[in-house]
Structure 1
Amino acid sequence: MAENTNSGGGNTGLAFIVGGIVVVLAIVAYFVFAGGAMTPETKDINVDVDLPEVAAPAAPGN
């Protein structure tokens, strides 16, 4: 009888392609979720809300 001596070597190329895709997706995920920078950017948020005082009109007297 003929024996199958093929040990699955044809899938080696596919394994390298899938491994490369996994590495690329890991790098993209790092830049998306980590912001792409090693140090976080500090932002100076200083909001000044000064509104003029509003007075109700005087009620007419009886």
Structure 2
Amino acid sequence: MADESKSSTPWLAFLVGGLVVAVAVIAFVVYSGGGLSKPQIPSSVEVDVNLPKAPPIPDAPKLPDAPMPTPK
């Protein structure tokens, strides 16, 4: 009688091999300078902001005169 025990070792080896290949491809792209390129940053930025003029502030009300002290 033949031994018919099933093992998951081939699938595990295939999965680990795929992960190793994926990591190798990512490492090659990163270290070779490929992939995402750095955006060019402008050396100077000119900003022109035109704000509306603020309305004038109204005059504050006058304070009443101080009361006269009462004689003692």
The TM-score with structure 2 as length reference comes to: 0.38
Name the structure where helix makes up a greater proportion of residues: 1
Q: Which of 1 and 2 has higher RCO (CA within 8 Å, sep 6+)? A: 1
Greater Rg over alpha carbons, structure:
2
